[in-house]
Amino acid sequence: MDVTSEMAARIEGRLERLGLSGEAADRAAGLAVGTVQGLVEGRGRVPRGAALRRLAVVLDVEEGFLLGLEPGDLIPPELLGEEQGELGLLAPDEAALLRHYRSLDVSTRAAILLVVGRAAGGGQEAPDGEVRKGRRR
């Protein structure tokens, strides 16, 4: 997603309010030097996943604010994932599922994985990471 003029203005406004330079924000967010300045100038692509979250933290705002979203709007899916395919940001429903899943005991987790795997049309993932399809013998 390319930066919009609204996003550029929001980023610039936060930098001014916090007394940060673009370079200082880059360093604090772990971004390549020139990334934030490019965004302020309306160049480049909006950071994705964890990089978007780090930039929001540095600017002391929510990701949705930077993106110009209304409260309750979901972050576009293409901005949730990482470039390298690692886990990025979670959508609110994914975060809720994970939070509840983590509160379950081990046997209930195994049952949930089986149900979700079947609902998604896949097999059951065994504890060793091997995917088994069909019935057990």
Q: Which residues of the chain have pLDDT under 50?
A: 85-86, 134-137
Nearest to 18, CA basis, from 4, 3, 29: 29
pLDDT at residue 94, rounded to an integer: 74
pLDDT at residue 22, rounded to an integer: 94
Phi and psi at 133, nearest 5°, equal -105, 150
pLDDT at residue 129, rounded to an integer: 54
CA atoms within 13 A on the CB side of 117: 17
| 3-class SS of residue 86 | coil
Distance CA 83, CA 92 (A): 20
* Angle of CA points 22, 23, 28, to nearest 5°: 100
pLDDT at residue 71, rounded to an integer: 81
pLDDT at residue 104, rounded to an integer: 84
pLDDT at residue 29, rounded to an integer: 94
